[in-house]
């Protein structure tokens, strides 16, 4: 309050011209995955409270957008850390290197579950398998032993045990890291399970082409890409009682009064089932540090060490409380951060 | 022309009957039109009232917050031990939880929980930082027992505001219905209180795990610094450009082209200015990201056409006789403009500027691209230069950010932020109206 009044008064008195030369940046800048954003902001806040460094700035925008900004180059007007809900790609490492970002430290902070949830009072979507999702959303599916353009209009068409309501799935858009996990662990898996993959290969497709065809989503409006955040998906589900959305576990746990979650292959998603690997749809979360910025931006290494400390990212820390599945190999990550081990040097 | 059946008199004019009929039809048309107008206004008013009603009912809760009173014995050894650890706040947290458990035992509240950690779930995670701040600021308090008022966790707060129900907590792992029984008892004897929360208006943003602590104050400062940049750049540039175009520039193809372009620029979607700002100010000029200075520059570009158009209109409204009179008694053209025309046009210019600023204040889209949306407004700027260059957010960007966070408690804060933003906009628009009423001259 007092600080607020002081700076307001100061701002009002002095004219705008006195901004002066740009001072060296003393605040860490982070951007990237909106899935990692809550965790990063919790750590940033605690970091500001526990150290003399200012609270880092965390922006969202998606893993790909964050890594793109990360790879723009080295220097004060580029970000120091990119959050990602997927591993950095070879292509991105190459772009980074071309722009002078050569030494990247990869930090795995833990795991996140991807859950499938529908309106609390909606139809009984209680149990799914990857094959159900593939049959509902795949571009080409197996019908009576033949590969055809997806003819399924209701979930009951995909699997007779599911409710006979129109398919309306809200899945993350392609700029989200979550989409990739959804394609890999649900669509591709479902494609294999339903036998469509084998049918594609038998039809003369190479394995790679078949995989790609497996992960293609139908484009007739039954599957809706959500480019925004999970709140947008929640709003769509709120207004469509037959809708099913893809969420992060932490988001679902904050909105249990509105959403009901479905099991995947018979397993209920929870931090325990994800940590044990029973729940099939989970993915590691990462952040990437520019090594060149360590030393130039005050507090950067301290932030990374603080993030992966047992008290923060461990199973009893505030991140696990919020919904992160703690990484059993956290101690190893801690050591790597302390020694500034870069990618490719291992 | 003897055909009377058409209702015309032989002279070609309508007869009395026909006249009355036509008059009636015209009057009816007028009455209908009035009715359409009234219906249109009523629809507009209905939407306005519905909007204000939903904003106020949703947002007013953000101004109230629930607090828990706890007395904590400060022990010098415990503090020294806590300060040595890496995550110091977790040690302070343990002190608070122990004190809370003691208090619950002493007061004889009935509860099924015995673990202090579990009991501590009713407190915001900001409590530890609040305690540590107090301890660092008042080292002399070691050994005393100090009374604190900590924020309650967002779900306890939501329960007292009617947002969280016992049924909703069934699947919630952050809080149990048993906590609510405890809160009911603590509320009955005044340990849990709900009162006006200044920190919502003056505080900084908080992370996703503690919506109860989030405030809009820092982003308000961000908006203030951006508005200063807009005011000090857009007003002089805009006025100079309009005076030149209106009073000095020759009328030729070039000035026509410029005029058309200014009018077009006013209609460009604001996100385009954001992309331009990212390319020109951050990537080319190397200005810092997320800085209110850059935000202000982008909004200046957006506001300039509005100011130029309104300034030119008010210069045009000054009658030529004033200019001619000044020139006639020997004033130079510049003297005529600055001594006579500009002062008379000033109320109109200021009105246009204020409306332009109000527009800029509510703008979010360009700020998305220059990194002003996210967990950013977490530090108060130290001083003026910092205020311009330090990463900060702006009010509408902060509201947008809150609206997309997972915890529903942030949603209430987004509405609360909208109320504050609307108050600012109303003040600015009312100022513009008053200025126009008081100083405008009619010729």
- Percentage of chain A with pLDDT > 70? 92
CATH fold group of domain B217-439: MetI-like fold (1.10.3720)
Hey, what domains does chain A have and what are their CATH numbers?
26-112+284-338 (3.40.190.10), 113-282 (3.40.190.10)
pLDDT tens digits for range A233-290: 999 998 888 899 999 898 898 888 889 999 998 898 988 888 888 898 888 999 999 9
Whole-number average pLDDT of chain B = 90
Q: What sign results for the dihedral spanned by CA atoms B416, B418, B421, B423?
A: negative
Is A140:A150 a contact under the CB 8 Å cutoff?
yes
Distance, in Å, from the CA atom of A211 to the CA atom of A197, rounded to the nearest integer, reads 7
> Which candidate, A114, A125, A71, places its Cα nearest to that of A93?
A71
B168 contact A CB<8A: yes
- Rounded CA-CA distance B73/B99 in Å is 8
Q: How confident is the model at residue A21 (pLDDT cuts 50, 70, 90)?
A: very low
Please tell me the distance from the alpha carbon of residue B379 to that of residue A56, in angstroms, as a whole number: 9
Q: Check whether B14 has a pLDDT greater than 80.
A: no
Using an 8 Å Cβ cutoff, are A35 and A248 in contact? yes
Q: Which of A5, A11, A14, A30 to mutate to test the interface with B (most CBs of B within 10 A)?
A: A11
Q: Measure CB to CB from residue B289 to each of A11, A54, A77 and give the nearest one.
A: A77
Q: Which residues 19-48 on chain B approach chain A with CB closer than 8 angstroms?
A: none
Mean pLDDT of A137-164: 86
B371: closest chain A residue by CA? A59
Percent of chain B with pLDDT over 70: 98
Question: Would you give the distance in Å from CA B22 to the centre of its chain?
Answer: 55
A121 and B CB contact within 8 Å? no
* Closest chain B C-alpha to A209 CA, distance in angstroms: 36
Tell me the domain boundaries of chain B: 4-60, 63-208, 217-439
Q: Find, among A217, A232, A224, the residue nearest to A60 by Cα.
A: A232
Tell me the chain B residues in contact with residue A15 when contact means C-beta distances shorter than 8 Å: 228, 232
Q: What does the pLDDT read at residue A4? A: 59
Residue-wise pLDDT for B208-226, tens only, equals 889 999 999 999 999 999 9
Residues of A numbered 77-106 whose beta carbons fall under 8 angstroms of chain B's beta carbons: which are they? 77, 79
Q: Do A20 and B403 touch (CB under 8 A)?
A: no
Under an 8 A CB cutoff, do B387 and A40 touch? no
Strands A29-32 and A81-84, sheet pairing: parallel
Question: What residues are paired with A114 via a beta bridge?
Answer: A248
Mean pLDDT over B12-24 rounds to 86
Please give the full DSSP string across B307-348, using - where no structure is assigned: HHHHHHHHHHTS-HHHHHHHHHTT--HHHIIIIIIHHHHHHH
Contact B132, B92 (CB under 8 A): yes
CB A279 within 8 A of CB A267: yes
d(CA B417, CA B211): 13
Residue range B227-268, pLDDT digits in tens: 999 999 999 999 999 999 999 999 899 999 999 999 998 889
How far is the C-alpha of B333 from the C-alpha of B345, rounded, in Å?
16
* CA-based torsion, B302, B304, B307, B308: positive or negative: negative
Token pair listed for A248: 């992060």
> Residues near A229 by Cβ (< 8 Å), separated by ≥ 6?
A34, A60, B404
Alpha helices in chain A (DSSP H): 2-13, 37-50, 63-70, 90-98, 130-137, 155-158, 177-182, 189-193, 196-202, 207-214, 230-238, 249-254, 271-275, 300-307, 310-313, 318-322, 330-338
Q: What is the pLDDT of residues B73-99, one digit of tens each?
A: 988 888 888 888 888 888 899 999 999
């Amino acid at each position: 309050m007092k600080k607020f009044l002081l700076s307001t008064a100061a701002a009002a008195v002095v004219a705008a011209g006195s901004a002066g030369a740009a001072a060296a940046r003393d605040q860490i800048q982070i951007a990237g995955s909106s899935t990692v954003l809550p965790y990063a902001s919790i750590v940033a806040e605690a970091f500001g409270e526990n150290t003399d460094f200012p609270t880092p700035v965390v922006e969202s925008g998606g893993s790909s957008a964050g890594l793109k900004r990360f790879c723009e180059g080295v220097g004060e007007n580029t970000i120091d850390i990119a959050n990602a809900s997927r591993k950095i790609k070879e292509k991105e490492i190459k772009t980074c290197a071309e722009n002078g970002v050569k030494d990247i430290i990869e930090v795995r902070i833990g795991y996140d579950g991807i859950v499938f949830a529908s309106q609390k009072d909606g139809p009984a979507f209680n149990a799914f398998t990857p094959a159900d999702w593939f049959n509902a959303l795949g571009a080409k599916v197996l019908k009576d032993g033949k590969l055809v353009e997806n003819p399924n209009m209701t979930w009951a068409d995909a699997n007779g045990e599911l409710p006979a309501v129109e398919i309306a799935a809200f899945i993350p858009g392609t700029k989200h890291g979550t989409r990739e996990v959804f394609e890999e662990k649900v669509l591709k898996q479902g494609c294999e399970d339903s036998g469509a993959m084998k049918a594609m290969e038998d039809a003369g497709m190479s394995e790679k082409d078949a995989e790609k065809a497996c992960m293609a989503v139908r484009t007739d409006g039954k599957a809706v890409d959500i480019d925004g955040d999970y709140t947008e998906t929640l709003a769509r589900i709120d207004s469509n009682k037959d809708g099913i959305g893809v969420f992060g576990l932490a988001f679902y746990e904050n909105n249990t009064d509105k959403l009901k979650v479905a099991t995947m292959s018979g397993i209920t998603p929870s931090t325990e089932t994800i940590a044990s690997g029973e729940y099939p749809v989970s993915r590691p979360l990462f952040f990437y540090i520019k090594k060149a910025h360590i030393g130039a931006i005050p507090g950067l290494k301290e932030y990374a060490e603080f993030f992966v400390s047992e008290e923060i990212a461990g199973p009893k820390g505030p991140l696990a409380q919020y919904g992160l599945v703690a990484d059993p190999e956290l101690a190893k990550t801690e050591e790597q951060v302390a020694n500034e081990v870069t990618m490719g040097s291992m | 022309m003897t055909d009377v059946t058409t209702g015309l008199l032989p002279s070609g004019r309508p007869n009395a009957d026909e006249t009355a009929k036509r008059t009636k039809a015209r009057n009816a048309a007028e009455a209908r039109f009035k009715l359409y107008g009234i219906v249109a206004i009523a629809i507009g008013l209905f939407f306005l009232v519905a909007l204000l009603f939903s904003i106020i009912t949703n947002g007013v809760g953000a101004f109230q917050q629930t607090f828990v009173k706890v007395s904590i014995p400060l022990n010098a050894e415990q503090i020294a031990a806590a300060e040595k650890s890496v995550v110091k706040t977790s040690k302070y947290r343990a002190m608070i939880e122990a004190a809370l458990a003691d208090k619950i035992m002493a007061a004889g509240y009935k509860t099924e929980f015995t673990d202090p950690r579990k009991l501590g779930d009713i407190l915001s995670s900001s409590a530890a930082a609040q305690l540590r701040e107090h301890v660092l600021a008042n080292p002399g308090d070691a050994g005393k027992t100090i009374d604190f008022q900590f924020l309650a966790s967002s779900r306890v707060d939501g329960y007292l505001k009617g947002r969280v129900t016992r049924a909703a907590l069934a699947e919630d792992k952050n809080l149990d219905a048993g906590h609510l029984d405890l809160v009911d008892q603590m509320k009955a004897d005044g340990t849990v209180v709900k009162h006006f929360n200044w920190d919502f208006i003056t505080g900084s943003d908080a992370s996703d795990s503690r919506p109860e602590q989030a405030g809009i104050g820092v982003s308000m400062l961000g908006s203030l610094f951006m508005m200063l940049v807009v005011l000090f750049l857009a007003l002089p540039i805009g006025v100079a450009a309009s005076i030149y175009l209106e009073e000095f520039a020759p009328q030729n193809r070039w000035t026509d082209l410029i005029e058309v372009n200014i009018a077009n620029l006013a209609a460009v979607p604001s996100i385009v200015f954001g992309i331009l700002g990212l390319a020109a100010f951050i990537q080319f000029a190397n200005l810092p990201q997320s800085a209110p200075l850059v935000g202000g520059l982008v909004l200046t570009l957006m506001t300039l056409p509005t100011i130029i158009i309104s300034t030119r209109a008010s210069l045009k409204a000054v009658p030529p006789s004033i200019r001619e009179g000044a020139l006639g008694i020997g004033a130079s053209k510049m003297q005529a403009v600055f001594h006579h025309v500009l002062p008379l046009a000033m109320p109109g210019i200021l009105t246009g500027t204020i409306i332009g600023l109000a527009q800029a204040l509510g703008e979010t889209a360009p700020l998305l691209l220059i990194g002003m949306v996210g967990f950013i407004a977490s530090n108060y700027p130290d001083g003026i230069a910092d205020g311009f260059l330090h990463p900060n957010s702006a009010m509408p960007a902060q509201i947008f950010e809150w609206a997309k966070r997972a915890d529903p408690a942030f949603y209430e804060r987004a509405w609360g932020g909208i109320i504050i933003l609307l108050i600012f906009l109303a003040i600015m628009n009312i100022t513009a109206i008053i200025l126009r009423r008081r100083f405008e001259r009619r010729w």
